[in-house]
Amino acid sequence: MEKIVIEGGRCLEGTVTVSGAKNAALPMLVSALLVEGWNTFHNVPDLKDIRTIKKLLIDLGAKVETSGSVVKIDAGGLNSHEAPYNLVRTMRASVLVLGPLLARLGRARVSLPGGCAIGARPVNLHLKGLEKLGASISLEHGYIEAQARSLKGAEIYFDIVTVTGSENLMMAAVLAEGVTTLRNAAREPEVVALAEALNLMGAEITGAGTPVITITGVKTLKPASFTIMPDRIETGTFMIAAGVTQGNIKIIGCEPSHLQAVIRKLQQAGITVEQEADGLRVVGTETISSVDIETLPYPGFPTDMQAQFMVLMCLADGLSVITETIFEKRFIHVSELQRMGADVTVTGTTAVVKGGRRLAGAPVMATDLRASASLVLAGLAAEGTTEISRVYHIDRGYESIEKKLAQLGARLWRVPA
Ligand code: UD1
């Protein structure tokens, strides 16, 4: 195991380039299961979760070749329908293979993802939707067993907006007979990116980016070439890095239109965010204003940015109320931030942050991906040395995080724990 050691208190300045989006790459790489022949994916980030999904695809019989940020996948030799426990356990998004396996092979056996640090995270809506398409589903010995002689288009209403649920159903429906309508579908840019990728393969999907997605089934798909969109959560994390260090960072290769809610809240807090020809310029301020946030499905404020925004609010003047509506246990970073001097009180789904405190470096533990990002930000802002253990969480979703921060002037190292 490794830890990251940060000597805080330095102002970050310079230019940083954002990597491809993990949450767009995962479903897009999985979509290669739907087609025979080589698909090519550009701008794929080198992350632990991406290595996990490639391993799963290889387990299922696909050929996977990687050269830098280019990944090629040919699932012509697909010969297994099982996603085993050891892979699904390390990454819940493995459940995304369910839809494509059913569509291609008529059956799938996928380990049921358990709870995770941020909450129960069931997949009941994925399963309910697949049943609507004609699959029979049972849960046996911790595995989802799904079978369907053929999938048929149907009307599917999601009781809760689910990102991977919408993606799974979209991938199951592209080869189904007839028309499928997904209502109350997720509008996240990653869902739109997957729909565009599937359409490049020959699918007929309309409405992605709205709550109603219509998929007209086609007989077969053809391989194609894709580019993964920039990571909006990595972008937002660097924006907050500028905010908490009174820095001046130019973020290139990002897509500001995907970050409107975050940009608005940062501007209300007094951070300067300006669009320049090739990216975003973010400049911190000495006096940060307190702002309330509530996490919501896109285009609302993303839950994946909540922990990072809390660090900024720890440094703000006054009280900030942070309400988490997506995941029930997503305040586990609070106790670690408190060890660094933060004044945060959690009641149910609400955290009240009393700003105006200096953070002080301390040994802390990363508990999940975005919580670890918040600890890195707190370490950058804090006086003294912060040691973050269990950093494997951050490697799931941030490519070359220490290298990118070091280029901006941060002093940090990765050392054996
Ligand atoms: C995706 C993202 C994750 C992000 C989350 C919310 C990927 C790989 N991960 O996760 O980074 O934090 O969206 O933006 O894209 N739910 C159910 N039943 C279901 C499915 C979901 O009750 O069958 C609930 C969840 O418990 C949660 C809410 O719906 O409360 C939203 O979860 P969902 O959008 O499904 O999250 P993921 O797709 O797992």
Model pTM score: 0.97
Q: Give the atom of ligand 1 at the shortest distance from the alpha carbon of 92.
A: 39
Please say if the pLDDT value at position 141 is more than 70: yes
Q: Is the same domain home to 189 and 324?
A: no
The pLDDT of 31-60, averaged and rounded, is 97
Is-catalytic flag, 254?
no
Residue where a domain stops, chosen among 173, 195, 227: 227
CATH number of the domain encompassing residue 95: 3.65.10.10
Euclidean distance between CA atoms 361 and 379, whole angstroms: 6
Query: What's the pLDDT tens digit per position in 335-392?
Result: 999 999 999 999 999 999 999 988 999 999 998 888 999 999 999 999 999 999 999 8
Atom of ligand 1 at shortest distance to CA of 233? Answer: 11
pLDDT of residue 115 exceeding 80: no
Mean pLDDT, to the nearest integer, of 64-91? 94
| Ligand 1 closest atom vs CA 162 | 34
pLDDT in the model for residue 143: 93
Please check whether residue 332 is in contact with residue 367, taking contact to mean a CB–CB distance below 8 angstroms. yes
Q: Is there a contact between 273 and 202 (Cβ–Cβ < 8 Å)?
A: no
Q: Which residues share a beta bridge with 71?
A: 41, 66
Domain that holds residue 375: 2-18+230-416
- Closest CA relative to residue 374, chosen from 358, 384, 388, 360: 388
Summarize the confidence of residues 50-66 as an average pLDDT: 97
**In terms of domains, do 223 and 234 share one?**
no
% of the chain with per-residue pLDDT over 70: 98
* Cβ proximity of 180 and 198 under 8 Å: no
pLDDT surpassing 70 at residue 118: no
Backbone angles phi, psi at 190, to 5 degrees: -70, -30
* Of 209, 227, 245, the domain-final residue: 227
Residues 158 and 275 in one domain: no
Residue 58 sits in the same domain as residue 88: yes
- Looking at the structure of the chain, the number of domains it has is 2
Ligand 1, CB cutoff 6 Å, lining residues? 23, 26, 92-93, 119, 121-126, 160, 162-165, 190, 303-304, 326-327
Last residue in a domain, options 227, 260, 279: 227
pLDDT at 120: 65
Q: Name the DSSP letter for residue 119.
A: B
| Contacts (Cβ under 8 Å, ≥6 apart) of 28 | 41, 193, 194, 197, 226, 228
How far is Cα 48 from Cα 52, in angstroms, rounded to an integer? 6
User: Using CB atoms within 10 A of its CB, is residue 319 exposed (0-12), middle (13-18) or buried (19+)?
Assistant: middle
Average pLDDT over residues 240-251: 98
Identify whether residues 270 and 146 lie together within a single domain. no
pLDDT at residue 89, rounded to an integer: 87
Ligand 1 center to residue 164 CA distance, Å?
A: 6
Q: Is residue 116 over pLDDT 80?
A: no
Query: In 3D, which of 415, 413, 397, 406 has the Cα closest to residue 52?
Result: 397
Can you tell me which residue has the tokens 């290595």? 51
Same domain assignment for residues 258 and 311: yes
Residue 27, pLDDT above cutoff 80? yes
**From the CA of 326, how far away is ligand 1's center (Å)?**
8
Each residue's pLDDT tens digit, 327-348:
988 999 999 999 999 999 999 9
Atom of ligand 1 nearest to the CA of 167: 38
At residue 1, the pLDDT reads: 85
pLDDT of residue 357: 82
In terms of domains, do 169 and 293 share one? Answer: no
Q: Please tell me whether residues 215 and 284 are part of one structural domain.
A: no
Ligand 1 pocket test: pick from 47, 121, 330 the residue with the most ligand atoms within 8 Å of its Cβ.
121
Atom of ligand 1 minimally distant from the CA of 302? 14
In this predicted structure, what is the pLDDT of residue 114? 64
Residue nearest to atom 29 of ligand 1 (CA): 162
Clarify whether residues 264 and 406 are in a common domain: yes
Answer whether 222's CB lies under 8 Å from 35's CB.
yes
Residues 328 and 199 in one domain: no
Pocket test for ligand 1, best of 125, 137, 164, 349 (most atoms within 8 A of CB): 164
- CA 327 to centroid of ligand 1, rounded, Å: 8
Domain identity same for 7 and 104: no
Q: Kindly report the protein residue whose alpha carbon is nearest to atom 20 of ligand 1.
A: 123
Q: Which of 132, 160, 308, when mutated, tests ligand 1's pocket best, judged by the most ligand atoms within 8 Å of its CB?
A: 160
pLDDT per residue over 78-89, tens digit each?
999 999 998 888
Per-residue pLDDT, averaged over 203-230, amounts to 98
Confidence of residue 417 (pLDDT cuts 50, 70, 90): confident
Q: What is the pLDDT of residues 144-170, one digit of tens each?
A: 999 999 999 999 999 999 999 999 999
Same structural domain, 167 and 243 = no
Residue having the nearest C-alpha atom to atom 25 of ligand 1: 121
Question: What's the rounded mean pLDDT across residues 242-254?
Answer: 98
